[in-house]
Structure 1
Amino acid sequence: MTYRPDIDGLRAIAVGLVVAFHASPALMPDGFIGVDMFFVISGYLITGIMLRDLKKGTFSIVGFYTRRIRRIFPALLVVVIATLGTGSFLLVGEGFARLVESVVAGLGFVANFLFWSQAGYGDALAATKPLLHLWSLAVEEQFYLLWPLVLAFSFRFRSGVVLSGMLIFLGSFGLCVVWTLHDPNGAYYLPFNRLWEPMAGGLLAMVGYSARGSIERNLCSLVGLALVAASFPMISTLEHFPGWRAVFPVAGTVLIIAAGPASLINRALVLKPLIALGLISYPLYLWHWPALVYARFWSLDRFGTFELSVVASLLAVSAAVVLAWLTYLLVELPIRLQRPSRVAQKLAGGWLALLVVSAGLWFSLPLLGFGVDKTEAQYVAELGRREGTCFMLDGKSNLPPECIDNDPDQTRIALVGDSYAAGFSKALRETPGLSVIEFTSSSCPFNLDFDFAIRPEQCRAINDERLDLILATQPDLIFIASWWQMGAEDDVSQLRNLAQSIQTLLDRTEARIVLYGLSPVLLRLLPICSQGK
């Protein structure tokens, strides 16, 4: 395959989106689609290279993995060693144990399975994991454990290459759509739901389609750009992603590649700054997340907040760019000039040694009292929130009977509000003499006839149902708690509406009303506090 500088420019766009998303989610809330673009680009390039070797009769599995080792390991080992070394100074206790755990998973290319097992509602620790981003590298390498073998086998049969690729593409895409409906976290992290994305690029390489004529090329590139741009209004959050919505960035990237370097959009992609950024896109991807995470820990120690200012985020990203260039110039380029087999053996040996040392450290930490005691899900479970039942996560009500404990011989208390109210559920239910009627919902305070930007229609309907439930059960006490700084367009109007909502309860019930004010917010995450950091 001939070198295409426009693809390096496309890499620059993809890594730029990811870095912007991680540095400022409010500024670039959909930047995570850059990972999907990377998957397509990788599938296209690597499948094309394998097909070239198969046609020449020079393809070998050993040769393929030798190239992968030379491409993946140099920057990966440097970043992992630097991250682990820095973490040994900044992190203590469980935080450092989690880092070592992620090092082992990252080097073993199973980080996606590790982080999937830890993910869930209230996964507040995500921003404290310096190697969280290695999940995508794991997915990619898991794909390349399967695809070269299938491609080499199917190449022997006429039309077998495209047929095998189509079967993987369709099967994975269908699974992704269904899985996203039931388990978005699993759909996001697990390889079975992601194989169709690099396969989309692989199919383009297999079919060999390239737009011809200026009109076809320009139309192809413009439609591709439009699809990528359409991702932003279509994909508002990770809640329903990837699923069918991932078609937009994937199809858009395929079309931009197919348009060829002479198309209108692709000519803009060959600007020197974009090509320069594209050349370091892989080491930049590896460096940027640890830089941002450690900058947050520095901010926590310095200013008592885990949130980064704009200046701090820019400094962290700038440091990542400098480190990426140094890695490219001092590590990646010199290694490319060495004999492939010999350097691959050295890199594989270094990788194995680091993996063994990290695994040994991981197993020894619990003996020193620094093990990973709890998952994020366990921390949330200890709060006693009945997620998905009495505490709604998706804006849907359908309250089950176990949420209505209406014992007339006890003091009946109705608990309403958002996740902050749900945090009181366990304590109230364990208090003798109380029967609890709970109707809490994520990001939905108890404000009647009031719209919140985060879920305008669902919250209004839920509050109507809450009022109906309170009027039907006539509790002795109504306990209202919420995060009162929800970010409504007008905080004053929200408070006025709250007063009106309480007046409605006073007029229509005989209940006493407890209104819990602003809940305290820990500046340091609970697991960090528990380890004395």
Structure 2
Amino acid sequence: MKFRQDINALRAVAIIGVILFHFNNEWLPGGFSGVDVFFVISGFLMTSIVFRGLESDSFSLFKFYVSRANRIIPALAFLCLVLMVFGWFYLAPDDYKTLGKHVLSSMEFSSNFTYLNESGYFDKSAYTKWLLHTWSLSVEWQFYILFPIILMVLKKYLNVQNLKKVFLISTIFTFVIAFFLSYSNPLSAFYLLPARVWELLLGGVAFLYPLAIQDKNKKRMELLGVSLIILGYFLVTEQTVWPGYMALVPVIGTYLIIVSNRQDSLLTNNLILQFIGKWSYSIYLWHWPLVVFGIYFSITNWWLFGIPLSIILGYLSYRFIESIKFPTYDLWSSIFKVKPMWMFLFTGILAAGAYNTNGYDFHYPQKLQVIGKEPFNGPLRGLHCQNYDNQKECQFGKGDVAAIVMGDSHSGAMIRGIDALYHDKGAVVDWTLGACPTLSGVSRYRQKKWTSVCGDYVDSVIKRASTKYQGVPIFIINRTAYYIDGDTESDRMNDQTILVKWQNKIFRPSSTFDMKSKLAKGFIETACKLSKTNPIIMVRDTPEYPFDVPTEMQKSLILNGELSRVKISRKSFTERNKWSDYIRTQAQKECGVKVLDLTDAFCDQDYCYGDKNGHAMYIDGDHLSPYGSSLTIPLMSEKLKSMNINF
């Protein structure tokens, strides 16, 4: 096919939108739709290659695959190798392990599935994933694999004209599928081929059904196409269901520019756009790791350096890697001659090694390795005792039951300290149920369906406490702030996350004040039910951190050569716990529950700390480690004595 300047300029328009969005999403809130522009372009080019080959009976499937590999793999493999070298020196073991996993899935072109199972594209955790942007390459590669095979099979039974009709019908049909999938399962729709294939097919329609347009109308069509793409950059936002019907805006815009086929316009004759378009693939590869780099090192106004660097590195990658002319082959027997395949294997083996050796942990200093392993040195007690069977009951120690601990996984993390206090008094019963708040009648969303297992369990233990354990003190420990206001850790943060369902209302981090008030009332009523037959001690939430504490400690050691304290402001901790503190205070007023505040074990007047004396107090961003739990014992003992609670 003759070089199309309009398509090359379109690539520039697409990459500019994507880069500006990623470096600052306030500039172009819909800039991510530039990826959809790329999809249409790819569909047009791939359809032209495959159909021309099929029409002339000269199409070679193997040659097609090799050509795609020659185009895509070398620059991608080089980027991955650079990140692997960078990670060797600057990433903590768990982060390097994760990078290995992501490099492997990127080289396998399955990273869209990997990221689908990890988090949403717009979640804050996205900015910690060095190769998140390769999800779109994976979608394209999956299309490249399936598309020619399907056309080759259909060509055996259909003539070219009927094949074109099937193509057009398929484009409409897959758009309908994408529309419904976008609303029924938006995360899958964003990442997976079935919801994106219509965009690629529409590019094919532009090739198969070229429009006969007068020159004066071509100009208008091109202008309309450009306007639609730019309108999409400003009209679409992260909250837009994507790729729903709004995706038609940039996709139709791209289609109109392609079918107008103007090679002498202001857009196509723009020298800057032509250069950027030529380098666009490499710019796309490099820009996202640079975005993450600026966040990883907390560089202010990083875009001032990151955007120019994206273009410079993109040019260098194009000039010295993309421009290499690797030979193509027609026969499958030549597979071992395909150089990109060896790049794929070499990079994949290195990445698999990083993943399977915890980031090649042997190359880290011993002190850094200890930080990563230390949180698990000692029994985590309740974390292994998840009572999803309502009749199951974990017990620590011997003798009569002296205390009961109930709540979510935070109670399981803290039970070590309570068990130590009651060690000589009797046994401690563990009523931990992970991810389940102590809230009667509550439901949680698990495996794509609502389940009442949490509420049923709470109701069953309320009954059990009044019959079997009447008078035994019960410690209620929850990550209460999470159920009211959502998560703090970046890899799980999303304003649309479903927290719980209670009294037929679904609660999210964005729920209204009135709804949160009702949920708080539910917590209070549950505690008061329990207090009718048992002394109740509600433990104040422990500080939470927006990162993995051991990893943050390792990161400070790697970057600074010494450990710096992992901390948040005490003010932010207090702000975070307004609702949970309200719940405990009201329960104290209404039904006499005791409130156990262990904040001073973690915080001074100004800050709350995730580490002490070089040791991690948490196993992640919110669960106490055995060491952290042990630090609560002296303060717990003092507080319980002041409450006249026997232990």
Question: Do both share a fold (TM > 0.5)?
Answer: yes
Do the aligned partners of 1:179 and 1:193 also contact (CA within 8 Å) in 2?
Answer: yes
Do the aligned partners of 2:93 and 2:361 also contact (CA within 8 Å) in 1?
Answer: no
More moved, 83-92 vs 401-410: 401-410
Query: How far apart, in 2, do the equivalents of 1:519 and 1:201 lie?
Result: 56
Do the aligned partners of 1:391 and 1:441 also contact (CA within 8 Å) in 2?
Answer: no
1:432 aligned residue = none
Q: Please state how far the C-alpha of 1:437 moved relative to its aligned partner.
A: 8.4
Query: How far apart, in 1, do the equivalents of 2:145 and 2:224 lie?
Result: 33
Q: How does 1:236-255 map to 2 (within 5 A)?
A: 236-237=237-238, 240-255=241-256
Q: Please state how far the C-alpha of 1:94 moved relative to its aligned partner.
A: 0.9
Relative to the length of structure 2, the TM-score reads 0.60
Q: How does 1:96-245 map to 2 (within 5 A)?
A: 96-119=96-119, 124-155=124-155, 157-158=158-159, 159-209=161-211, 211-215=213-217, 217-232=218-233, 234-237=235-238, 240-245=241-246
Do the aligned partners of 2:84 and 2:99 also contact (CA within 8 Å) in 1?
Answer: yes
- Which amino acid is 2:192 matched to? L
Do the aligned partners of 1:173 and 1:196 also contact (CA within 8 Å) in 2?
Answer: yes
- Which amino acid is 1:197 matched to? E
Q: How does 1:483-498 map to 2 (within 5 A)?
A: none
**In structure 2, do the counterparts of structure 1 residues 320 and 403 end up closer, same or farther at CA, with 3 Å as the change threshold?**
same
**In structure 2, do the counterparts of structure 1 residues 296 and 290 end up closer, same or farther at CA, with 3 Å as the change threshold?**
same
Q: Are 2:314 and 1:315 aligned?
A: no
2:54 aligned residue = 54
1:340 aligned residue = 328
2:282 aligned residue = 283
1:77-133 superposed Cα distances (whole Å, 9 cap, x missing partner): 211111111111111211000111111111111111111111259954321111111
**In structure 2, do the counterparts of structure 1 residues 520 and 155 end up closer, same or farther at CA, with 3 Å as the change threshold?**
farther
Query: How far apart, in 2, do the equivalents of 1:126 and 1:357 lie?
Result: 23
Match of 1:363 among 352, 356, 359: 356
More moved, 358-367 vs 234-243: 358-367
Match of 1:351 among 337, 344, 348: 344
Query: How far apart, in 2, do the equivalents of 1:168 and 1:78 lie?
Result: 37
- Which amino acid is 1:131 matched to? L
Relative to the length of structure 1, the TM-score reads 0.71
Q: How many aligned positions are there?
A: 462
Q: Please state how far the C-alpha of 1:48 moved relative to its aligned partner.
A: 1.3
1:165-218 superposed Cα distances (whole Å, 9 cap, x missing partner): 235423432332222223221111122221111111012111223533312x23
Query: How far apart, in 2, do the equivalents of 1:318 and 1:47 lie?
Result: 34
**In structure 2, do the counterparts of structure 1 residues 47 and 512 end up closer, same or farther at CA, with 3 Å as the change threshold?**
farther
**In structure 2, do the counterparts of structure 1 residues 19 and 121 end up closer, same or farther at CA, with 3 Å as the change threshold?**
closer
Do the aligned partners of 2:189 and 2:195 also contact (CA within 8 Å) in 1?
Answer: yes
Do the aligned partners of 1:112 and 1:134 also contact (CA within 8 Å) in 2?
Answer: yes
**In structure 2, do the counterparts of structure 1 residues 417 and 462 end up closer, same or farther at CA, with 3 Å as the change threshold?**
farther
Do the aligned partners of 2:106 and 2:138 also contact (CA within 8 Å) in 1?
Answer: yes
Q: How does 1:518-529 map to 2 (within 5 A)?
A: none
Query: How far apart, in 1, do the equivalents of 2:91 and 2:359 lie?
Result: 16
Residue identity over aligned pairs, in percent, reads 25
Q: How does 1:416-435 map to 2 (within 5 A)?
A: 421=485
Q: Please state how far the C-alpha of 1:332 moved relative to its aligned partner.
A: 2.0
More moved, 75-84 vs 406-415: 406-415
Query: How far apart, in 1, do the equivalents of 2:345 and 2:109 lie?
Result: 12
**In structure 2, do the counterparts of structure 1 residues 238 and 511 end up closer, same or farther at CA, with 3 Å as the change threshold?**
same
Do the aligned partners of 1:21 and 1:31 also contact (CA within 8 Å) in 2?
Answer: yes
Query: How far apart, in 1, do the equivalents of 2:621 and 2:93 lie?
Result: 8
1:278-324 superposed Cα distances (whole Å, 9 cap, x missing partner): 0000001111111222232222xxxxxxxx422x2221222222111
Query: How far apart, in 2, do the equivalents of 1:386 and 1:243 lie?
Result: 34
Q: Please state how far the C-alpha of 1:467 moved relative to its aligned partner.
A: 9.4
Greater C-alpha radius of gyration: 2
1:390-442 superposed Cα distances (whole Å, 9 cap, x missing partner): 6999xxxx998977979798999999977664569xxxxxxxxxxx9898944
Query: How far apart, in 2, do the equivalents of 1:298 and 1:510 lie?
Result: 49
- Which amino acid is 1:309 matched to? T
- Which amino acid is 2:119 matched to? A
Query: How far apart, in 2, do the equivalents of 1:279 and 1:125 lie?
Result: 31
Q: Please state how far the C-alpha of 1:325 moved relative to its aligned partner.
A: 0.8
Q: Please state how far the C-alpha of 1:443 moved relative to its aligned partner.
A: 4.1
**In structure 2, do the counterparts of structure 1 residues 466 and 382 end up closer, same or farther at CA, with 3 Å as the change threshold?**
closer
**In structure 2, do the counterparts of structure 1 residues 344 and 273 end up closer, same or farther at CA, with 3 Å as the change threshold?**
farther
Q: Please state how far the C-alpha of 1:147 moved relative to its aligned partner.
A: 0.7
Query: How far apart, in 1, do the equivalents of 2:169 and 2:609 lie?
Result: 50
Do the aligned partners of 1:6 and 1:267 also contact (CA within 8 Å) in 2?
Answer: no
1:2 aligned residue = 2
1:487 aligned residue = none
**In structure 2, do the counterparts of structure 1 residues 382 and 15 end up closer, same or farther at CA, with 3 Å as the change threshold?**
farther
Query: How far apart, in 1, do the equivalents of 2:358 and 2:517 lie?
Result: 52
Q: How does 1:446-485 map to 2 (within 5 A)?
A: 459=512, 462=515
1:329 aligned residue = 319
**In structure 2, do the counterparts of structure 1 residues 465 and 382 end up closer, same or farther at CA, with 3 Å as the change threshold?**
closer
Do the aligned partners of 1:417 and 1:440 also contact (CA within 8 Å) in 2?
Answer: no
Query: How far apart, in 2, do the equivalents of 1:368 and 1:87 lie?
Result: 12
- Which amino acid is 2:273 matched to? L
1:46-76 superposed Cα distances (whole Å, 9 cap, x missing partner): 2112223333332211221121122112211
1:455 aligned residue = none
**In structure 2, do the counterparts of structure 1 residues 164 and 298 end up closer, same or farther at CA, with 3 Å as the change threshold?**
same
**In structure 2, do the counterparts of structure 1 residues 528 and 511 end up closer, same or farther at CA, with 3 Å as the change threshold?**
closer
**In structure 2, do the counterparts of structure 1 residues 331 and 244 end up closer, same or farther at CA, with 3 Å as the change threshold?**
same
Do the aligned partners of 2:484 and 2:519 also contact (CA within 8 Å) in 1?
Answer: no
Query: How far apart, in 2, do the equivalents of 1:80 and 1:5 lie?
Result: 30
**In structure 2, do the counterparts of structure 1 residues 141 and 401 end up closer, same or farther at CA, with 3 Å as the change threshold?**
closer
Query: How far apart, in 1, do the equivalents of 2:454 and 2:102 lie?
Result: 39
**In structure 2, do the counterparts of structure 1 residues 412 and 364 end up closer, same or farther at CA, with 3 Å as the change threshold?**
closer
Do the aligned partners of 1:53 and 1:59 also contact (CA within 8 Å) in 2?
Answer: yes
**In structure 2, do the counterparts of structure 1 residues 519 and 33 end up closer, same or farther at CA, with 3 Å as the change threshold?**
farther
Do the aligned partners of 1:391 and 1:442 also contact (CA within 8 Å) in 2?
Answer: no
Do the aligned partners of 1:419 and 1:440 also contact (CA within 8 Å) in 2?
Answer: no
Query: How far apart, in 1, do the equivalents of 2:591 and 2:502 lie?
Result: 13
Query: How far apart, in 2, do the equivalents of 1:272 and 1:522 lie?
Result: 53
SS in 2 for 1:280: helix
Q: Please state how far the C-alpha of 1:136 moved relative to its aligned partner.
A: 0.6
Query: How far apart, in 1, do the equivalents of 2:179 and 2:197 lie?
Result: 13
Do the aligned partners of 2:174 and 2:195 also contact (CA within 8 Å) in 1?
Answer: yes
Query: How far apart, in 1, do the equivalents of 2:149 and 2:192 lie?
Result: 20
Do the aligned partners of 1:40 and 1:201 also contact (CA within 8 Å) in 2?
Answer: yes
1:259 aligned residue = 260
Query: How far apart, in 1, do the equivalents of 2:483 and 2:240 lie?
Result: 17
- Which amino acid is 2:321 matched to? V
Which fold has the larger relative contact order, with Cα–Cα distance below 8 Å and residues 6 or more apart in sequence?
A: 1
Do the aligned partners of 2:444 and 2:454 also contact (CA within 8 Å) in 1?
Answer: no
1:450-497 superposed Cα distances (whole Å, 9 cap, x missing partner): xxxxxxxx73674686699899999799x999x9xxxxxxxxxxx9xx
Query: How far apart, in 2, do the equivalents of 1:416 and 1:361 lie?
Result: 37
Do the aligned partners of 1:416 and 1:466 also contact (CA within 8 Å) in 2?
Answer: no
Do the aligned partners of 1:287 and 1:320 also contact (CA within 8 Å) in 2?
Answer: yes
Query: How far apart, in 1, do the equivalents of 2:436 and 2:269 lie?
Result: 53
- Which amino acid is 1:169 matched to? T
The structure that is helix-richer by fraction is: 1
More moved, 271-280 vs 180-189: 180-189
